[in-house]
Structure 1
Amino acid sequence: MRIVIVGGGPAGLYLSLLLKRSGLGHSLQVVEQNAPDAAFGFGVVFSEDALEFLKKDDPAIFNAITPELERWSGIAIHHRGERVMLDGIGFTAVGRLHLIHLLQKQARDESVDVTFNRPVTDLSEFTDADLIVGADGVSSLVRRSDEAGFGTTLSYLTNRFAWFGTTKVFDTLSQTFLQTPAGPINAHHYRYSKTMSTFVVECSESTFFNSGFDRMSEDEAHAALERVFAQTLDGHPLIANRGSIWRQFPIIHNERWSVGNRVILGDALHTAHFSIGSGTRLAMEDAIALARAIAEHPTDVPAALAAYQAQRKPILDKLVNAANASAEWYENFGTHMALPPYDFAMSYLSRTGRMDIERIRKIAPEFTAAWEKHRTLPASP
């Protein structure tokens, strides 16, 4: 089977490795529009056990990534000048570019055919392919080639966000919520190496326009955000790259995951709000599911693609629904900021609807005890 993978990010590279190692003798080609050193964003965060799927399915990749991870336990919520710790919640992180380089090295070692700096504008150049995989992100050409066929819906959240890095190394995954004269604004920040942290700024639509961000150049907005978060940054700069522009988060959904011999995965298929830190994990798990389905039906592309959606969709739907619930909470985080710090932290912790008070009590006993001491609202059922 000749397989062309459009997109050389984590999903595309990982899928190519899985297929190469399947022993089925697939003819593989990965085409990536950017250079090997290009990467949007800075760090990639995972929950503590998010990479456990790799330990079972791909110990080689797991062992390559694990030594590079930064690890910590707990989330710090900064609100009204108070720091509230949520215990019992572990995370890991790694630089996005570093992760891509690890996968690129694995691909080279496996002699996968990867071509960089090759934009694809028309899928007709792959007419000889038995399968075309769209691992080409939010703006996926493979998906856009037949959005009616895929049953695509695309909408945008109203909040604006921008993705930066900083040399301030945070001790844990943290959230800083501020009420400015222009309105509410917040930052998600966590370290992903010994010397760098990710710093994602998010604000409401009204704050965006009231602050004049819509009229500022990138450099002006950059400087303004350094002033807003001066205390959080503790004198450290914000560092920009191509992802450090104001955007609205896209919500992408597809009723059908394949059309003919074209199939999509990762952000091309679905998006998961950055507040739950699962985008890269979900993309890599999509790759595992697709590779497994192809291995089960090595000579029957329609059957493989049907199996991919049937087996993966129920699992994915639960995670995407949780991400959408989290996104909805953030769309209204300014309203939630009316709560005092401990009630606000409880609202944050329960935002996806997956944790009731008993589960929170079990996972974060120290926080729960502090919340029960300080709370002003009754527990949700």
Structure 2
Amino acid sequence: MKIACVGGGPAGLYFSILMKGVAPSHDVTVYERNPAGSTYGWGVTYSESLLRSLHATDPESARAILDSSVRWDRWDYFRGPRTMSDPEGGEGFGIGRQRLLDLLAERARGLGVRIAYEREIADERELADADLVVAGDGAGSRMRERHAVHFGTEVGVGRNSYVWLGSARAFDSFVFSFEETEHGWIWCYGYPYSPDRSTCVVECAPETWKGLGFDRAREADTLVRLEKIFAGMLDGHPLLGQGDAQGSARWLNFRTVSNRTWRRGNLVLAGDAAHTTHYSIGAGTTLALRDAALLAAALLQGPPLPVALARYERQARSAVRSAQRSARYSSQWYENLPRYTDLPLPQMVLLSKLRGYRLVHHLPPKLCYFTHQAAANTVGRIPRAMRRKAARPIS
């Protein structure tokens, strides 16, 4: 096959690796509109389950990714002067986004994939000789937008404002900090992605964002103010911006992208072009790599192409559907944060961990907490033998 991947992100690069690795005769080119090494963002997160999947599909790239990652097994929470540590938060991994893309690009080129940087493709007719065109050109995909009516594209815009920043402090855990200001609550998620750097995502309600002057502040002034607000979490280390310090910080409102269908002829969507999930569940990179693996597997099962693409969409949609539902509830939890801030910190933390479930949003917070605890205690009292019996499948 002659394959064109539009977009040099995780989905396009990993798909090219899998296709070229299994069938070297495939002619695969990745087109990326930006220069090499100019990606946005700081670091991305992933779980051990993704790492196992990567090892199963391409062990060489999985080993390279792990070798360039940092790991944590603890979650720390700050709320004003109160702090708590949760050693049961689960294990996680972080890697610099640019480092991840460099590793994938190096692996792809080693297999014979061509990567064309600074090459904008806005119309699949520019790739008329390709048997398959994979649009992995991000949430604002130009390839998708040309056929938005066909794809049934819908974009939902979140209420809260957020900004991606870096920190010169390398956290040794995943960190949450919730701080109350004179204009309302503001919070930060932080996680390491290298031995000397971390990602910090700051979020707040629009009235807090305006009240603190972030709608008109230069990036340099924004960073100084945020460093004071999150001084406990940062422990004297500076925040790092992405833009011109004299310009404004890159505050955004999250855009949830969904599509009625992911395919049109020989054009198929993958990664953020097909779907996005709110950053608070940290699933974007995982889903992009999973899309790539499912698309490659569907194609390798054999022609015809329309059948393979339908198979891919059906399987990938199943994984994305539950992630988007959890992400929707998660973003709603943060949009309604004041509902939970009067709780003792341990109770608030527990409900934050349950935020991906619908029931949390409908029960009064204290009732939800005590209902969960009662259920957990009841299950804990069931004898082990009875639990094993209850877990057996019904024949």
Q: Provide TM-score, normalisation by structure 2.
A: 0.87
For residues 111 and 124 of structure 1, the distance between their equivalents in structure 2, rounded to whole angstroms, comes to 24
TM-score, length basis structure 1? 0.90
What is the match of residue 366 of structure 1?
A: none
**Counterpart position of 2:389:** none
Residue in 1 that maps onto 2:151: 150
CA contact 1:204–1:334 (8 Å) conserved in 2: no
Which amino acid in the other structure matches residue 46 of structure 1?
Y
Tell me the equivalent position of 1:303: 307
User: Aligned match of 1:284 in 266, 269, 289?
Assistant: 289
Is 2:316 aligned against 1:315?
A: no
Aligned amino acid, residue 228 of structure 1: I
Q: Which has the higher contact order (CA 8 A, sep 6+)?
A: 1
| CA distance in structure 1 between the partners assigned to 2:200 and 2:66 by the alignment | 22
- Contact 1:189–1:197, Cα closer than 8 Å, also in 2: yes
Aligned in 2, Cα 1:355/1:104: closer, same or farther, shift over 3 Å? Answer: farther
* Aligned counterparts, 1:201-240, within 5 A: 201-240=202-241
Report how far residue 376 of structure 1 moved: 11
Contact 1:84 1:345 in 2 (8 A): no
Distance 1:119 1:317, change over 3 A: same
What percentage of aligned pairs have identical amino acids?
A: 36
The answer (yes or no) to whether the contact 2:122–2:143 under 8 Å persists in 1 is no
Q: Which residue of 2 aligns with 1:14?
A: 14
On the 8 A contact 2:294/2:315 being kept in 1, the answer is yes
- Conserved 8 A contact 1:7-1:30: yes
Which residue of structure 1 aligns with residue 264 of structure 2? 259
Is the partner of 1:39 in helix, strand or coil? coil
- 5+ unaligned residues in a row in structure 1: which ranges? 357-373
Offset at 1:186? 0.4
Q: Does the 8 Å contact 1:18/1:288 carry over to 2?
A: yes
- Residue equivalent to 2:363: none
CA distance in 2, matches of 1:242, 1:155: 26
State the 1:136 CA deviation: 0.5
SS in 2 for 1:94: strand
Tell me, which stretches of 5 or more residues in structure 2 are unaligned? 361-365, 376-395
Question: Please, which of 346, 371, 381 is the counterpart of residue 379 of structure 1?
Answer: 371
1:330: how far off? 1.4
Aligned residues: 363
Distance 2:325 2:147 in 1: 25
1:1-381 to structure 2, matched below 5 A, reads 1-23=1-23, 25-88=25-88, 89-241=90-242, 245-297=250-302, 299-353=303-357, 377-380=369-372
Partner in structure 1 of residue 391 of structure 2: none
> Structure 1 pair 376/4, CA: closer, same or farther in 2 (3 Å)?
closer
Counterpart CA distance in 2 for 1:355 and 1:198 is 30
More displaced stretch, 287-296 vs 76-85: 76-85
> Which is higher, the Rg of structure 1 or of structure 2?
2
